[in-house]
Amino acid sequence: MELHDERKQSLVAWLATIQTLQYEAIVPMLGDASFRRYFRVVTSQGSFVAMDAPPAKEDCTPFVKIACLLRQHGLHAPHVIASHVEQGFLLMTDYGDLTYLKALQTTNVDQLYGQALQALSRLQHCHQHVETALPRFGAAQMLQEWALHKEWFAEKWLGLSLIDIEKSLDACYLKIVEDALSQPQVLMHRDYHSANLMVIPEAVGILDFQDACIGPVTYDPVSLLRDCYIDWPDARVKAWILQYAHLLKERHVFVSHDFSEPLFLRWFDWMGLQRHLKALMIFSRKAIRDNEPRYLQYIPRVLAYLERISSQYSDFEVLHAYIRQRVIPATKRVMSSCALSS
């Protein structure tokens, strides 16, 4: 807490050096699953958002770079008004509090997802301008996330031993990796979901893009349409993802790839397995390491995705058995124990 207090004091001192900024209040905002903190800076001319990203744990430079890139391509990313990258402070435009997660309803979901998918198609298409400047989301990254899943979710949170099936599970996961690498590689936001998209007039505000990289074309669509925080019937998800696939085809993303709807649906499903196995790791690690259990409530939804999708492909019989026979029962026990002790 003392460190946070010192950083807030430093942030306030830095804001005071911005001559055009005469603020009246600095109000904490709900953060994300990272070490960053956000504050709303209230002024008589309107509000702004200040980011506090401790340099030892976060780097502001990618945020500034990607924000500029997205804005150059007509996308609505926050404008960085002032920055002190060495200290980890940014001041930027404020898109308000109405996230997609708060706004989505059955009556507006087609409209909002339509806008989000249009924006995403533009975001992914601008990879041609940054391919050499961004890291790649490749085999090494995916295998590291799988190792972390086994460590934090299976072993530390659920207390499971995977010795007898680990090699078989690893073989399943390698199929996912190989399939991801076979997809068109585009600019990948990496957290394109309802909590990071803002409803603004006739557009979508895009946040939390600092981890952008070059990666598989279906990673961001699956983050949006099979969101950890909100879900929709499979028939609607299929319609949206095929709509998006044809949008990408119009933008010539598949120039060097054969394209078919069944292939794109398989890419989407298998990429979702990778994404959701990672989500289980993130949520359990936040609870264990960072004492932030609020993300545990989303684990049942993520497990439902994994159980359902893994059941549809013979390649993942071992993964399906792992989820159904070991993970789901163990999760129920652990969450029941957590509820009893709270």
Residue 277, pLDDT score: 98
- 35 neighbors 58 (Cβ within 8 angstroms): yes
Q: What pLDDT does residue 338 have?
A: 74
CA separation for the pair 110, 107 (Å, rounded): 8
Is residue 206 in a domain?
A: no
15 and 156 inside one domain: no
Lowest-confidence pick of 18-22, 142-146, 329-333 = 18-22
| pLDDT value for 202 | 84
Position 211 confidence tier, pLDDT thresholds 50, 70, 90: very high
Residues 239 and 289 in one domain: yes
- 9 with 144, same domain: the answer is no
Assess contact for 288 and 152: CB atoms under 8 A.
yes
Q: Is the pLDDT of residue 320 over 50?
A: yes
Half-sphere exposure of residue 251: CA atoms within 13 angstroms, side-chain side? 22
Q: Does 262 fall in a domain?
A: yes
The pLDDT tens digits of the residues spanning 270-299 come to 999 999 999 999 999 999 999 999 999 999
Q: In terms of Cα–Cα distance, which of 125, 64, 62, 122 is closest to 91?
A: 64
Query: Which residue range is the domain that position 48 belongs to?
Result: 2-93
Q: What is the DSSP letter of 138?
A: -
pLDDT tens track for 153-206: 999 999 999 999 999 999 999 999 999 999 999 999 999 999 999 999 889 999
Which comes out higher in pLDDT, residue 258 or 198?
198
Does a structural domain hold residue 145? Answer: yes
What per-residue confidence (pLDDT) applies to 332? 95
Q: Are residues 168 and 87 in the same domain?
A: no
Mean pLDDT value of segment 51-69 = 88
242-255 pLDDT per residue, tens: 999 999 988 877 76
If asked whether residues 178 and 42 sit together in one domain, one would say no
Look up the pTM and report it. Answer: 0.92
Integer Cα distance of 177 and 210 in angstroms: 23
261 and 337 fall within a common domain: yes
Sort 107 into a burial class: Cβ within 10 Å, 0-12 / 13-18 / 19+: exposed
Is 37 among the domain residues?
yes
Q: Residues 300, 304, 305, 307: is their CA dihedral positive or negative?
A: positive
Residue 115 lies in a domain: no
Residue 3 confidence (pLDDT): 45
Residues 143 and 286 reside in one and the same domain: yes
- Say yes or no to pLDDT of 1 above 60: no
Last residue of some domain: 93, 121, 146? 93
* Residue partners of 32: CB distance under 8 A and separation at least 6: 195, 196, 208
Given this model, what pLDDT does residue 32 score?
61
Ranking 221-225, 250-254, 283-287, 318-322 by mean pLDDT, the lowest is 250-254
CA angle 324, 175, 275 (to 5 degrees): 60
Domain end among 40, 71, 93: 93
pLDDT value, residue 2: 41
On average, the pLDDT of the chain sits at 91
Predicted pLDDT of residue 209: 93
pLDDT exceeds 90 at position 313: yes
> Do 176 and 290 belong to one domain?
yes
Count of the separate structural domains present in the chain: 2
The size of the chain, in residues, is 342
Q: Is the predicted pLDDT of residue 49 greater than 60, yes or no?
A: yes
What local confidence, expressed as pLDDT, does residue 21 receive?
A: 78
Identify whether residues 88 and 141 lie together within a single domain.
no
pLDDT at 177: 98
- Classify residue 126: in a domain, yes or no: no
Percent of the chain past pLDDT 70, that is, above it, reads 94
Distances (CA, A) of 230 to 165, 195, 223, 269: 31, 10, 11, 17
Residue 107 lies in a domain: no
What's the confidence (pLDDT) of residue 234? 96
Task: Find the angle CA(188)-CA(137)-CA(84) to the nearest 5 degrees.
Answer: 70
Which pLDDT tens digit goes with each residue over 127-160?
Answer: 665 555 789 999 999 999 999 999 999 999 999 9
Contact status, residue 80 vs residue 67, Cβ threshold 8 Å:
yes
Tell me, what CATH number does 240's domain have? 3.90.1200.10
Please identify which residue in the block is written with the tokens 């504050």: 39
Q: Examine residue 116 and state whether it is found in any structural domain, yes or no.
A: no
Question: Is pLDDT of 335 > 80?
Answer: yes
* pLDDT bucket at 126, cuts 50 / 70 / 90: confident
CATH number, position 22: 3.30.200.20
